[in-house]
Chains A and B, each alone.
Chain A
Amino acid sequence: MRLLLWLHWRQMLRTAVYWLRVIGFDPLEDTTSNKLYGVYLVIIFAGWFVLMWSLIVHGALRIGEQLTASQLERARSGFESGFPWVVTGIALLCILLALRKTPLKLSVEDLTYIAASPMRREAIGLIGFAGYTAIGLAVTLPLTVLASMMLAHSASNDEIGLMAYPAILTSIPLVIFTAACAWCIGFWRLRRPNPSRSLWLLPLLLAIVAYAVPSVMTWPGRVLACEVLAEPARAQAFLLLALALVAFAGVIWLGRRINLITVAAELGTTSQLKSLGVLGRFTWRDLSRQMRDRERLARRPSRLHLPHVSGMNMLVARAGLIFARQPLSFGWAVLRSTALIAAGAGLALIGASALSWLFWLTFVMMLPSRDILSVYSDDQTNAFLRQFIPADNLTLLLIDTSLPFVLISLLGLIGWSIAMVISGTSPLILPLMLVFTVVMLLSQAAALVRAPGGDPTVASLIFTGFGFGIPLLLAEFTGPGTALLAALTAALLLAWAISTSSRFAAVSMGE
């Protein structure tokens, strides 16, 4: 247990060192200037934390004070009836997540250590559970304090500082009880080498029970709600504490019975993600998504198949199948692109201010919808497969983006039909959307094949800025018709840039 704690402590330190280095302080550097900088940072952060917390608490009190008696009554009644359901919902979500995958999210180092050590299994569970509960408490406690202060309007200033304590003391067993219930169910699933799939029905069953017998399922939330509203229910709070202790004992008992082979089998992707580092999920977003997608694909037999077509039709079918097998990311990319393009076309149509345009353009430049070009991007960066594709860069772009283009156009048409019925939107928005979609696809594709130095990020900024910047500038001064023409011209220029790109630049060595 002590060794495992030490291992976790080391991991925490490594994380802390990373973050401290981000802000310029290296804890491993033994120099006076570095130490002084450390002291300076401690003072600054302590001051900042105290100041911020004071401001938030003061804000909460002010809100409470400004509520009229009737408003306060409504807020208290809303809190009393709504909060227990929120707690129940969170508990069901925790159970769902614990059932989806082992709650023991271990890293490669932990797995290696555990596999080679004779340690007791409940120790692994306890350490993980402590971390999980600590995070839950870190989120819950401040919110409980703020809610208590906002809704305890009637108290005098002297009492205000003390009135949150009962709520805090009640929220601790509530968090432990909620987390322990989820972990018990998660551990129960992990007792056998082949976890039962029928346990997936449990959250649904509990939701039905909650609907049928709300008084039982929402009871833990009601206990905390009473304490927050300064309506003490001490006996119930003690009962909650007793139940939390029982649930905690359940975590220990079931923790002894988990099958570590099942845990290890489920942790492959988690370990890989953890090995990417603290910011891995953000900085290596594509890689972490690829890991999850691969895990999902490998879990079940392939669905949908290539149709009996040949030549270019086969290339289109292949792109469609690749998109269809990643429905969530593709669906999200299409929706996001449609929303962006519709917003841009709408701005052109209403003659929006330059500032609105600037915001829109900045957003499109900084966060372009690259996912609708994922197949084209794969084709261009994977030289091995690219050599098998008998199509030039521009033809391949038309093939690889035909499905997202059709879907975005269809969504645009549906959106316009609805908007026309509601507010009589001009049909000019449709050609604008089509041309904007083409410009978006072409600018991202040009960034891939024309990237200076092989880095498409900067090229994407340049080509998106060029593709949309000039049409938007013209729209501001001359109207949507000119913007449409300018966007068409930009599209033609981008298409020319793609078709005449160096034949060899299309493929790189980035295997």
Chain B
Amino acid sequence: MLRVSKLRYAYGPAQALNDISFAIEPGELVVLAGRNGAGKSTLLRCIAGWTRPAQGEILISGKPLIQNEREARQSMMLVPDTPVFYDQLTAWEHLTFIARAYRLDGWEAQAEQLLEHFALSAQRDYYPFTFSRGMQYKLGLTLALLVEPALLLLDEPFGPLDPLSSEQLWHDLEIYRDAGIAILLSCHQLPTETPPDRYLLMDQGTLLGDGTPKRLAEQFEVRGEPTLDRLLHAAVMEQMRSPFVR
């Protein structure tokens, strides 16, 4: 579904992404984890085509993103940490506009179901700028899920959500994963103890580890339960011990 090869990106002299390579298959739930400033959001934006990488290649369904941008956009959606909406359209009008622009069939029932699921039904006729940050994120998710993307990218989805909504979202993501959607999300903490299929561990623009929790635990010699905190801590510590890191 998604293949990233030797991706590089820099903000001026600061290298934000450094030779990042990985792949995600349909029906995989992958968590991108790293410290603040690791380059997670930049990586997601490059994959979504919001930012042009300096070097490297991104393949969506086997086709280069840069040459098949319009086609690729229709099969993937990125929900940023703070989605922004039109000031003059209500929540329901956003859904109507996107569903009808895409000529989706039977979208109304699905849209109502999604709003109900994310507890936004009562606010459907309100303007999104009156929403809290968590509600805005839920509306962003609703819009993204309405078009049923094959690849769903989520930037810090649990940050603005309350614990109950975070847990519910994690279960929802597992259901979407089982339905064949490839999901890549960035986060610092998981809302449940159920691990994802794979972790991508990043620090200072470099991919430190890519694998299942068990495999990463072996790679970084983590004892006990391979939680996200322990894996990330071990990966970062190992990188700091590396003689190539100043």
Contact = CB atoms under 8 A, between A and B. Distances in A.
Interface of A: 290, 293-294, 297-298, 301-302, 305-306, 309-312, 314-315, 318, 321-322, 325-326, 378, 382-385, 387-390, 392, 502-505, 507-509, 511
B87 A293 contact: yes
A383 B100 CA distance: 20
Interface string B44-84: 01001111100000000000001001100110011110111
B143 interface: yes
A312 B103 CA distance: 10
A35 B219 CA distance: 66
A312 B52 CA distance: 27
B19 interface: no
B140 A384 contact: yes
Contact of A294 (B66, B87, B143): B87
B101 A311 contact: yes
Contact of A314 (B52, B77, B101, B127): B101
B129 interface: yes
B84 A382 contact: yes
Contacts of A309: 100
Nearest to B53: A504
B52 A390 contact: no
B189 interface: no
A322 B86 CA distance: 8
Given A318-B97, A321-B93, A322-B89, A388 B50 contact: no
B59 to A, nearest CB: 16
A342 to B, nearest CB: 28
Interface of B: 45, 48-52, 66, 69-70, 73-74, 77-80, 82-90, 93, 96-98, 100-103, 125, 127, 129-130, 140, 143, 147
Nearest to A382: B84
Nearest to A302: B90
B85 A385 contact: yes
A378 B129 CA distance: 15
Nearest to B45: A509
19 contacts: A298-B130, A311-B101, A315-B97, A318-B86, A321-B88, A322-B88, A383-B80, A384-B84, A384-B140, A385-B86, A387-B50, A387-B73, A387-B78, A388-B102, A390-B73, A392-B70, A503-B49, A504-B50, A504-B69
Contacts of B89: 318, 321-322
Contacts of A297: 87-88, 127
- Highest count of chain B CB atoms <10 Å: which of A302, A389, A502: A302
B101 A390 contact: yes
B196 to A, nearest CB: 24
Main secondary structure of the interface of A (DSSP, over half): loop
Nearest to B140: A384
A311 B99 CA distance: 9
Best-surrounded residue of B50, B78, B102 (most CB of chain A within 10 A): B50
A322 B93 CA distance: 11
A298 B69 CA distance: 37
Contact of A310 (B52, B100, B143): B100
A306 B93 contact: yes
A314 B100 contact: yes
A344 B65 CA distance: 44
A509 B78 CA distance: 13
Contacts of B129: 294, 298
Contacts of B82: 511
Given A293-B87, A297-B88, A318-B97, A311 B52 contact: no
Given A384-B84, A388-B143, A511-B80, A503 B101 contact: no
A175 B97 CA distance: 53
A395 to B, nearest CB: 11
Which of A326, A504, A507 has the most CB atoms of chain B within a 10 A radius of its CB?
A504
A313 to B, nearest CB: 8
A508 B84 CA distance: 13
Contacts of A294: 87, 127, 129
Contacts of A311: 100-101, 103
Contact of B101 (A293, A301, A310, A384): A310
Contacts of A505: 52
A503 B125 contact: no
Contacts of B88: 297, 321-322, 325-326
B83 A384 contact: yes
A505 B51 CA distance: 8
A20 B89 CA distance: 43
Contacts of B66: 503-504
B6 to A, nearest CB: 18
